[in-house]
């Protein structure tokens, strides 16, 4: 098991901020953790990596209990607010990791080239821009060639070129067999990286998250949406409310042919029908911005 999280619960004083998280990952994947501010993403990553204790549940990473210190040979965590030392160079930071983890120094040059920070490797970190710091943090996270890479908001502060570099590196690592779990608010980037998204809200992973993205969604404009809704509800067919005269449905819930047949049988006129692929942004809006789901 690469990630095995079972009923993880965490509270701060009386407030439960993780309310029973379950995640199972058995083969390499890229997974995105998406949710509004305060939904519990950082807390979850911190609990997984034993930076925080939790109240209930278990966490297993790379087949070992998360408290086993030996996991950090194979698991890396790029934290959101990780502290770097201004007076040290990028090289010093990487060298430190190499000595602690007994990684050969030749990896420093290799990783610096890979993330595009070779030119400023010997500069002091206090002279780095936000994006340069993010490069260094990424280099520090991948120098051990981890099997599992956890990243909290890795795209913060990156210009478009750096974001592309980051994306390409993550995709390469995935192809080499690394599992990646990242939190991000950048839904366009997430769409380019993966269609496996866990949507988090108030400390839980939403069940709707299990819907695979990139399935087709149809949006139908109808002469009588209310009637269409009650017909679909009576057949327990899932739909999504849209504008006042539109509703939409996923092809996984009902084929287009079935929809047309049901509308015809009930004398509902289909004025227009549009098709699109469901991306992360749209799914986010449906889940968090009040576009109702049944």
- For residue 269, the minimal CB distance to ligand ATP (Å) is 44
Q: Does 177 bind ligand ATP (CB under 6 A)?
A: no
* Residue 12 contacts ligand ATP per CB under 6 A: yes
39 binds ligand ATP (CB under 6 A): yes
- Shortest distance (Å) from residue 148 CB to ligand ATP: 19
Residue 17 or 268 with smaller CB distance to ligand ATP: 17
Q: Is 146 in the site for ligand ATP (CB under 6 A)?
A: no
Shortest distance in whole angstroms from residue 107 CB to ligand ATP: 31
The only residue of 4, 40, 90, 146 in contact with ligand ATP, by rule CB under 6 A: 40
Identify the residue among 42, 49, 76, 107 touching ligand ATP (CB under 6 A): 42
- Regarding 86 and contact with ligand ATP (CB under 6 A), the answer is no
| 3-state SS record for the chain | CCEEEEEEEEEECCEEEEEEEEEEECCCCEEEEECCCCCCHHHHHHHHCCCCCCCEEEEEECCEECCCHHHHHCEEEECCCCCCCCCCEHHHHHHHHHHHHCCCCHHHHHHHHHHCCCCCCCCEHHHCCHHHHHHHHHHHHHCCCCCEEEEECCCCCCCHHHHHHHHHHHHHHHHCCCEEEEECCCHHHHHHHCCCEEEEECCEECHHHHCCCCCEEEEEEECCHHHHHHHHHHCCCCCEECCCCEEEEECCCCCHHHHHHHHHHCCCCEEEEEEEECCHHHHHHHHHCCCCEC
Minimum Å distance from CB 288 to ligand ATP? 12
* The only residue of 43, 107, 141, 165 in contact with ligand ATP, by rule CB under 6 A: 43
Q: Which one, 18 or 62, has the nearer CB to ligand ATP? A: 18
Counting residues that bind ligand ATP (by CB under 6 A) gives 10
Binding site for ligand ATP (CB under 6 A): 12, 17, 35, 37-43
């Amino acid at each position: 098991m690469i990630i095995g999280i079972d009923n993880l619960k965490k509270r701060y004083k009386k407030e439960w901020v993780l309310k029973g998280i379950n995640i199972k990952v058995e083969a390499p994947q890229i997974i995105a953790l998406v949710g509004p501010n305060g939904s519990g993403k950082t807390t979850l990553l911190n609990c997984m990596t034993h930076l925080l204790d939790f109240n209930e549940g278990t966490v297993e990473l790379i087949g070992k209990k998360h408290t086993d210190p030996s996991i950090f040979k194979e698991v890396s965590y790029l934290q959101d607010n990780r502290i770097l030392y201004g007076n040290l160079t990028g090289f010093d930071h990487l060298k430190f990791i190499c000595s602690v983890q007994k990684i050969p120094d030749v990896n420093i040059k290799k990783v610096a080239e890979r993330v595009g920070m070779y030119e400023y490797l010997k500069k002091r970190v206090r002279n780095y821009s936000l994006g340069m710091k993010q490069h260094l943090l990424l280099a520090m996270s991948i120098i051990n060639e981890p099997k599992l890479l956890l990243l909290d908001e890795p795209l913060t502060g990156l210009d478009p070129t750096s974001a592309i570099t980051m994306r390409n590196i993550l995709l390469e690592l995935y192809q080499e067999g690394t599992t990646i779990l990242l939190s991000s608010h950048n839904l366009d980037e997430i769409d380019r990286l993966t269609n496996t998204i866990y949507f988090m809200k108030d400390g839980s992973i939403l069940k709707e998250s299990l819907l695979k993205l990139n399935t087709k969604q149809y949006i139908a404009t109808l002469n009588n949406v209310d009637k269409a809704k009650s017909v679909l509800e009576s057949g327990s067919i899932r739909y999504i409310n849209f504008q006042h005269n539109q509703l939409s449905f996923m092809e996984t819930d009902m084929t287009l042919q079935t929809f047309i047949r049901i509308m015809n049988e009930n004398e509902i006129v289909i004025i227009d029908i549009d098709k699109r692929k469901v991306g992360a942004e749209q799914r986010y809006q449906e889940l968090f911005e009040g576009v109702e789901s049944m």
